[in-house]
Amino acid sequence: MSALLEVQDLTVTTSTGRRILDGVSWSLDAGGRLGVVGESGSGKSMTALAVLGLLPDGMRATGRVLLDGEDLLALPPRRLARVRGGQVAMVFQEPLTALDPLMTVGRQITGPLRLHRGLRGAAAREEAARLARLVHLDDTERILGSYPWQLSGGQRQRVALAMALACEPRVLLADEPTTALDVTVQAEVLDLLDHLVDRTGVALVLVTHDLPVVARVARDLVVMRDGRVVEHTSVAAALAGGEAAYTRELVGAARAVTGLPGGGPAAGAAGVAAAAARRPAPEEETR
């Protein structure tokens, strides 16, 4: 079976010729769960932005990004805009900066429903309410009538998930979706993401610096460092040791900090929230 999304030799350069990404390649099957992990500056988030054609000004991408064999990098802007959100959607790290502070949640969810699915009026409002319930937003009517700044961080991230799923995409890119959340809410959002992937069948690319987060949700793993892919393997194989020395270093560091065990994704996911909760609070760390 051919891959649903395939990144081939993706290279991103700045206007001065400096390479931010260097020959990145990986693939994602339909219904797959891929974690892309690495330290800050490894290029993992830049890869997600390049897939959707959202690179900062002055950066240029070469290589190929194939969605069902169609090269997204070669698409004209209007066609790419239809793919973005319609077939490939993204959830960003901080939803407060991704959401419009002057627009109600309901209007922001119905926007993509109008653009990509042609829903209007009552049909769009009913679908927005259904999506809100799907992502476990209680008190749906109040939430839809609220502005993003009136909601908690966890609620805003659920809104972002609802917007991403509004157009029934085939691929969901989630870039550090839990980093800005406290550990309890992080666990709730990860459980929700796991549930939504199972329920909708969307293929997931989870970008994070946090290996226990990947172990909780993903099946396959891409390890990045300095703009390159170090290893493309299964989560189970990585937790069992991995082939690359850098992968083993990441796993060892995660175990030292969070108590991440070996033995595959199920074992790796066990107790992620509890392990993170054992970390000292910032004020305790500085005492």
Q: State residue 198's pLDDT score.
A: 92
Residue 85: what are its φ and ψ, rounded to 5°? Answer: 95, -40
Query: Are residues 172 and 141 in contact, defined by beta-carbon separation less than 8 angstroms?
Result: no
Q: Which candidate, 110, 132, 130, places its Cα nearest to that of 121? A: 110
What is the pLDDT confidence band of residue 181, given thresholds at 50, 70 and 90? confident
User: Residue 266 pLDDT more than 50?
Assistant: no
pLDDT digits (tens, 9 = 90+) for 42-92: 999 999 999 999 999 999 999 999 999 999 999 999 999 989 988 999 998
Cα R_g (the chain), whole angstroms: 19
Q: State residue 178's pLDDT score.
A: 86
d(CA 253, CA 68): 37
Share of the chain above pLDDT 90, in %: 72
Q: State residue 73's pLDDT score.
A: 97
What is the pLDDT confidence band of residue 259, given thresholds at 50, 70 and 90? low
User: Residue 285 pLDDT more than 90?
Assistant: no
User: Residue 22 pLDDT more than 60?
Assistant: yes
Measure the N-to-C terminal CA separation of the chain; round to a whole number of Å: 55
The Cβ of residue 11 has, within 10 Å, a number of other Cβ atoms equal to 16
**Sheet of 70-71, strands arranged across:** 19-28, 5-13, 60-67, 70-71
CA 24-210-30 angle, to 5 degrees, is: 55
d(CA 258, CA 55): 33
d(CA 22, CA 196): 33
Structure tokens at 228: 């390159």
Alpha helices in the chain (DSSP H): 44-51, 77-86, 95-98, 105-117, 121-134, 140-144, 153-165, 183-200, 211-217, 235-240, 245-258, 265-269, 272-277, 282-285
Q: State residue 244's pLDDT score.
A: 94
d(CA 284, CA 161): 33
- Residues forming a β-bridge with 64: 8
d(CA 211, CA 203): 19
Q: State residue 257's pLDDT score.
A: 79
Output the average pLDDT for the chain. 88
d(CA 173, CA 130): 22
Query: Are residues 12 and 59 in contact, defined by beta-carbon separation less than 8 angstroms?
Result: yes
pLDDT digits (tens, 9 = 90+) for 28-53: 999 999 999 999 999 999 999 999 99
pLDDT digits (tens, 9 = 90+) for 196-210: 999 999 999 999 999
What does the pLDDT average to over 158-175?
93
What is the pLDDT confidence band of residue 183, given thresholds at 50, 70 and 90? confident
1 or 183: which leads in pLDDT = 183
187: helix, strand or coil: helix
User: Residue 273 pLDDT more than 70?
Assistant: no
Q: What is the 8-class DSSP label of residue 176?
A: S
Q: Which sequence spans correspond to the domains of the chain?
A: 94-168
